[in-house]
Structure 1
Amino acid sequence: MRVLHTSDWHVGKVLKGQSRNDDHIAAIGGLVDVAKKEQPDLIIVAGDLYDTASPTAESTKIVTRGLSALRKTGADVVVIGGNHDNGKALDALRPWADAAGITIRGAIGKPEDHLISGTTRDGEQWRLIALPFLSQRYAVRASEMFELTAAEMTQSYAGYVGDLIARLAQGFGDDTVNLLTAHLTVIGATMGGGEREAHSIMGYAVPAAVFPSSLHYAALGHLHRPQAIAGPCPIRYSGSPLPIDFGEEENLVSVAIVDVTKATAARVREIPLPVATSLRTVRGTLAQLSTLDTGNAWLRVYVQEAPRAGLREEVQDLLPKALEVRIDPKLLPGPGAGRAEAARAGRSAGELFADYLGQRGHADEATVTLFHRLHDEVMHS
């Protein structure tokens, strides 16, 4: 059978105030084009369809239309919730999804609800463990789906996840292609740059040993960089289909195509996806920035000029697609630079502000004058 594995769409992402809706529509369109060409039997979306737990109506339209388009290619489609998604809200879409032939598992439910079976167009049977993101807060509650011993109740987060997978894997067959999709962090994996760190560290990482050797392929979501993980079975992150934040501008965006049978190991191909609007970091003085050809990329700019009022606006006049403008860190004073913090007692707000600017390497008379004017307006309004 053939599987298309994608994850971490993050529809609804706003980058420094800029909507990414057009980029997401283009990225999902790229996924649909790959599905039409490759004709997979199963499409897995391994979590984080949305960037926020309260998506807008436009974001919901983009996601549901994208899933419908993937389903129309003839493949079965299975979707799980990620840490950015509202699992219960995703599950509320299940009546629509069921009618459309799309399987959604937004949050942990009954055990039998997370082992999904299917048959390919050529009659090959497959079984899939569909494990949405599981927070530490609900790990014990999820494990209570099964009868636990006293020792099991004291397990770590990784222990709970491993236990869930092991018990669900008991439903695997010797004559089926056995698959798993989950939204989690595996120890040893490389973060892509835009993940939510609290759900990637602090006890959330699990060892690759939680995946049983009976698995033919584990399709993971959560980390935005495509990568394979060494383990007892083929384990892979598909990565995001577009760069989500500036920390991901160097990531290869792609989709994973997996060919596997019950008797052969999974063979994975990475298919690059086009990026509608790239992300790019540039550095230089105003004179140097004025000579750059940055195309249609969204920009993070490290300007190599002394801090002053109006500098951001000058940069954006030169580079209208600069979403983030910062002073190059090399020009900022290092730790301990500047005079010691002055006593606050008896000093005006303007004096304190000017002193703060000096300590931060941002001394500029125009900025101080503007502060005085705004402060006077607030105090006398």
Structure 2
Amino acid sequence: MRLLHTSDWHVGRTFHGRDLLVEQEAVLGGLADLVVDRAIDVVVVSGDLYDRAVPSAEAVGVCARVLRRIAEAGARIVVTPGNHDSAPRLGAFADFTPAGGLHLLTSTTRLHRPVVVEDRHGPVALYGIPYLEPDPAKAEFGMPDLKGHTGVLGEAMRRVRADLAERPGTRSVVLAHAFVVGGEASDSERTIAVGGVPHVPGSLFDGVDYAALGHLHGPQTLAEHLRYSGSPLAYSFSEARHRKSVWLVELDEGGLAGVERHELPVPRPLATLRGSLADLLEDPAHTAVADHFLSVELTDPARPIDAMRRLQKRFPHAVHMEWRPEGRVEVPRKYGDAVRGRDDEAVSCCFVEAVRGTSATASERALLREALAAVAGKEPE
């Protein structure tokens, strides 16, 4: 049997305000071609199908079209919710969707009831462990003494193993959305540090043939049978060096036979630039990244006026900019220390200098005096 391990689709996510639905549909829809080319039997999504608990109509439409293409290509689909999804909403029609080849494993109390798929070697049980927030999960398990993420996920795996014990000779795959010790995070994952330490030990997944992990956005191998597929697209500039991919997992009669990495296309690469505004606008060396999503760090001694608009004339996909003047060292001060002993005009001028890097001009000072006088209800001096 061949499985395609994916996770963290985050359909509906934006990138610094830019809509990604077209790019998401292109990359995810291409998984259907992979299903055909590599004879994939099952595609799994280990959490965060959507980016929001209540996704937009447009995001739902993209997801529906992608899932339909994969199903029409001949694969069954198994999905479990992540910390971005709403498990009740995602699983609302879970009792009906298996007829179309879509299995939504969203229930905490039924996570030990697998989807069973047969191949020529016999049955394979696929268990879906939704993202388990500790306090609600303890209540659903009826076990208030469980401790944090490790406690609730440990109980989930205990229930999975108990079910497996009653299925001799059955191979097993577990989908789980969690932060496993040894995994490397990026800037685009929402923290799951609720109810204590978010990390759980990889040993929780001992005894299963393959654990398809979700939550971390970089593809990672923690053990031969324990892997993160990562997100199909980059969702932060910290992922610029990620090689986005999915895992092709093969099971034979003895269990895990091999895992192969398949890299995904990059709709729009990411890049970062640093320098003065004039250099960035004029240097021909930067032409290579003109069509990239771009993060820019400006080093001008004074904050350039209208810098982002000017940058976007040359780099239409510049989406993030910071001003960090070269050689300037910021000395953090408390608000009280910064304003003590200064009148309103001095405080205003100090603010202008702090945000722009240059002192207020005479005309700007006059304008500030006029504004302060208007606020105070008196004529400017």
Pairwise same-fold verdict (TM > 0.5): yes
Please say if 1:164 is aligned against 2:156.
yes
The answer for the alignment partner of 2:115 in structure 1 is 116
Please say if 1:138 is aligned against 2:136.
yes
Please say if 1:155 is aligned against 2:153.
no
Structural mapping, 1:5-154, within 5 Å: 5-94=5-94, 97-112=97-112, 114-120=113-119, 122=120, 124-144=122-142, 153-154=145-146
Decide whether aligned partners of structure 1 residues 369 and 5 sit closer, same or farther in structure 2, where only a CA change above 3 A counts: farther
- The match for 1:333 among 329, 334, 349 is 329
Please say if 1:187 is aligned against 2:205.
no
Cα deviation per residue 1:186-227 (whole Å; 9 max; x = unaligned)? 0111113311124499512110111132x1100010001111
Q: What amino acid does structure 2 have at the position aligned with 1:37?
A: D
The answer for the alignment partner of 2:202 in structure 1 is 208
Mapped partners of 1:316, 1:369: distance in 2: 31
- The match for 2:265 among 262, 274, 279 is 274
Cα deviation per residue 1:301-354 (whole Å; 9 max; x = unaligned)? 112212143233322233221111111364542335999944357733x54233
The 8 Å contact of residues 42 and 76 in structure 1, kept in 2 or not, is answered as yes
The 8 Å contact of residues 238 and 254 in structure 1, kept in 2 or not, is answered as yes
The 8 Å contact of residues 189 and 229 in structure 1, kept in 2 or not, is answered as yes
1:289 positional shift: 1.4
The answer for the alignment partner of 1:242 in structure 2 is 233
The answer for the alignment partner of 1:302 in structure 2 is 297
The 8 Å contact of residues 332 and 360 in structure 1, kept in 2 or not, is answered as no
- Secondary structure, in 3 states, of the residue corresponding to 2:339? coil
The answer for the alignment partner of 2:320 in structure 1 is 324
Mapped partners of 2:15, 2:206: distance in 1: 39
Mapped partners of 2:333, 2:49: distance in 1: 45
The 8 Å contact of residues 133 and 194 in structure 2, kept in 1 or not, is answered as no
Q: What amino acid does structure 1 have at the position aligned with 2:123?
A: Q
- Secondary structure, in 3 states, of the residue corresponding to 1:153? coil
Cα deviation per residue 1:110-153 (whole Å; 9 max; x = unaligned)? 355x4221213x46311012101011221212322xxx5xxx82
Decide whether aligned partners of structure 1 residues 84 and 154 sit closer, same or farther in structure 2, where only a CA change above 3 A counts: closer
- The match for 1:219 among 196, 200, 212 is 212
The answer for the alignment partner of 1:196 in structure 2 is 190
Mapped partners of 1:30, 1:40: distance in 2: 13
1:368 positional shift: 5.7
1:53 positional shift: 1.4
The 8 Å contact of residues 12 and 52 in structure 1, kept in 2 or not, is answered as yes
Please say if 1:286 is aligned against 2:282.
no
The 8 Å contact of residues 134 and 194 in structure 2, kept in 1 or not, is answered as no
Mean Cα deviation higher: 249-258 or 354-363 = 354-363
- Secondary structure, in 3 states, of the residue corresponding to 2:265? coil
Q: What amino acid does structure 2 have at the position aligned with 1:138?
A: P
Cα deviation per residue 1:53-110 (whole Å; 9 max; x = unaligned)? 1210000011111111111121111001010111111012435633422001234233
- The match for 2:358 among 340, 354, 363 is 363
Please say if 1:263 is aligned against 2:254.
yes
Mapped partners of 1:365, 1:376: distance in 2: 15
The 8 Å contact of residues 216 and 266 in structure 1, kept in 2 or not, is answered as no
Decide whether aligned partners of structure 1 residues 217 and 286 sit closer, same or farther in structure 2, where only a CA change above 3 A counts: same
1:376 positional shift: 7.6
Mapped partners of 2:334, 2:200: distance in 1: 45
Q: What amino acid does structure 2 have at the position aligned with 1:174?
A: P
Mapped partners of 1:67, 1:370: distance in 2: 62
- Secondary structure, in 3 states, of the residue corresponding to 1:324? strand
1:377 positional shift: 12
Structure 1 residue runs of 5 or longer lacking an equivalent are none
Q: What amino acid does structure 2 have at the position aligned with 1:347?
A: D
RMSD over aligned CA atoms reads 3.1
Q: What amino acid does structure 1 have at the position aligned with 2:218?
A: R
Decide whether aligned partners of structure 1 residues 9 and 337 sit closer, same or farther in structure 2, where only a CA change above 3 A counts: same
Q: What amino acid does structure 2 have at the position aligned with 1:42?
A: V
Decide whether aligned partners of structure 1 residues 82 and 288 sit closer, same or farther in structure 2, where only a CA change above 3 A counts: same
- Secondary structure, in 3 states, of the residue corresponding to 1:69? helix
The structure having more radius of gyration, on CA atoms, is 2
The 8 Å contact of residues 4 and 44 in structure 2, kept in 1 or not, is answered as yes
The 8 Å contact of residues 148 and 195 in structure 2, kept in 1 or not, is answered as no
The 8 Å contact of residues 36 and 73 in structure 2, kept in 1 or not, is answered as yes
